[in-house]
Amino acid sequence: MSERKLTRLDALAQLTAPGQAYELEEVDVYGHACRAFKNAPATLRELYSENRSDVTFFVYEDERYTYEEVYQRSCQIAKLLVDDYGIKKGDRVSISMRNYPEWVMAFNAITSIGAIAVAMNSLWLTGEMEYGLDNSGSCVLFADQERVDRVLPIYHQLEIKVIAVRTNKPLPDDIPRLEDLLNKMPPCEMPPVQIDPNDDVTILYTSGSTGNPKGVVSSHLNIINALLSWELDGQAAMLAMNLEPQPLEYPPTTLLAVPLFHATGSHAVLLNSYRSQRRIVSMYRWDARLAAGLIEEERITSFIAPAAMTGDLVEVARKTNRDLSSLATVGGGGAPRAPEQVKGIANTFSKAMPGTGWGMTETNAIGTGIGGDDYLNHPGSSGRCSAILDLATFDEEGNELPQGERGELRVRGTSVIQGYWRRPEANTEAFVDGWLKTGDVGYIDDEGYLYIVDRIKDLVIRGGENIGCAEVEAALLEHEAILEATVYAVPDERLGEEVGTTVYSPSAIDVDDLNAFLNARVARFKIPRYFKIITEPLPRIASGKINKRELRELAVREIRDGKA
């Protein structure tokens, strides 16, 4: 009689049982009983110190740093912040730059001294940076040349101290270069501080359906448990398939092509590398041909990015002779993949299997996951729930729905944040009895697979980047000729969604002039690709609100018919 095959739930039960490495225990998280990893590092500081080694950690162009070298440089930055800048526990310190080694070093330093790292969107323009710095109450900003240029008009009025990284222009006397500051410092230890797992440690800004971006505040406990959740899912998948861990042909190496100011970059790529001693190869900006070259030259074994980027890589792989056989996994997230791309990854790369998941900045990037043959068999699904989270769907009255019924997805558990920075009204709206209302509409089938089918939030998700429609509408309405404006998502083959808008203006507007107008007010990725300018008021529904659905459907038809 054949032995019964383990299910995923069986595997999770074995791996999280008492005495096991991934043992789960019940802990209090923000007043609610949640499941947490008993043997996890207590803080990010502990995560870094436990994983010092001479293994190569971070590669940027011709620069290479070991885990120990990054740790030592982080100690110097930490001492600099404490001794010269007076940074104390709970103070906010912002980072705004490309994916340079200094991003990692500054982040590790900030989060090791009890301060809160504010990972600012490096695409923001001056006005957006001003909002983020002012809202977070940051004391210090680490910025590269592009971001220094943007912050120069405002840093004095904000009374923030700026430390410059990789500059190529003369700087004001009160903005020092980080390399100059560190060159004067001897090697040192990490400054002593008492950090509790429940202490706040990061603020990441995410665009919402109304107004300015919201600061998502995470604790050490939130983040550490998210990292171990990914590890557990990988172990459970192997156990369920009865696979023994095999030595990799190449050392574990991942390509960092998504920005570190996103949870995918900071958590799934950066922080998730420590315990596995994975090497990170960082790109200045996304370029699919360059990425293929790096995969071949560095023998990269994993890559995680939104569907647009993994789709680009599939196309390059088909058109070039690059050897991409080192790739073992191609992960995704941020936006769903078309089923054709799921199959394309499996068919294009000789060893790599596709994977994806659903998560939010508010859940520290975990939620559900799926990969390999499971993903090929369920290409429309975002996977099954993490062991430390609960998922359910609810109707409009707040009643929990049975499996299989569509409703708003809610999530609760150890990696879910307590709330938004200085936004009590947003917290009241988003959190109910320990559940976070996600704004996504979906259903969970009888096998536990999640399917996202719609969205309640008024967002455009462009290549994994959330764009709040209200923010773009507000920028459009600053134009003196525009009386009404609505912004919506339109489908895009590569990015999943693009920004579309319909505006009412009694007088003629040149689209190029409007683009230039917006370019001075919002980051470039938020500027609509599709414009429709009409000379009569926008249609409205019975409540008096603009009929966004009708205008979006009209725009989609015109795009499909080649009229837009």
CB-CB contact of 356 with 382 (8 Å): yes
Per-residue pLDDT band for 1 (boundaries 50, 70, 90) equals: very low
Helix (H, G, I), strand (E, B) or coil at 87: coil
> Is a pLDDT exceeding 90 seen at residue 266?
yes
Span 226-243, pLDDT tens digits:
999 999 999 999 898 887
Q: Which amino acid does the sequence have at 117? A: A
pLDDT at 317: 84
pLDDT at 136: 98
Per-residue pLDDT band for 544 (boundaries 50, 70, 90) equals: low
Average pLDDT in the chain = 92
Lookup: tokens for 91: 């103070």
Percent residues over pLDDT 90 in the chain:
71
pLDDT at 2: 47
pLDDT at 4: 64
Instruction: Decide which of 3.90.1150.10, 3.30.300.30, 3.40.50.410, 3.30.70.100 is the CATH code for 459-560.
Output: 3.30.300.30
Span 274-299, pLDDT tens digits:
999 999 999 999 999 999 999 999 99
Span 170-209, pLDDT tens digits:
999 999 999 999 999 999 999 999 999 999 999 999 976 5
Q: Taking phi first (over 0 means left), then psi (-120 to 50 degrees means alpha), and beta for anything else, what does residue 333 get?
A: left
> Is a pLDDT exceeding 90 seen at residue 443?
yes
Does domain 27-39+217-455 match CATH 3.40.50.12780?
yes
Beta bridge partners of residue 369, listed in sequence order: 357, 384
pLDDT at 334: 62
Per-residue pLDDT band for 343 (boundaries 50, 70, 90) equals: confident
DSSP 540: B
Q: Where in the chain is the domain with CATH 3.30.300.30?
A: 459-560
Of 333, 464, 453, 451, nearest in space to 391 by CA:
451
Q: Where in the chain is the domain with CATH 3.40.50.12780?
A: 27-39+217-455
Beta-strand (E) ranges in 82-192? Answer: 92-96, 116-119, 140-144, 161-165
279-282 and 353-359 beta bridge pairing: unpaired
Span 34-71, pLDDT tens digits:
999 999 999 999 999 999 999 999 999 999 999 999 99
> Is a pLDDT exceeding 80 seen at residue 347?
no
Per-residue pLDDT band for 390 (boundaries 50, 70, 90) equals: very high
CATH topology of domain 44-195: Rossmann fold (3.40.50)
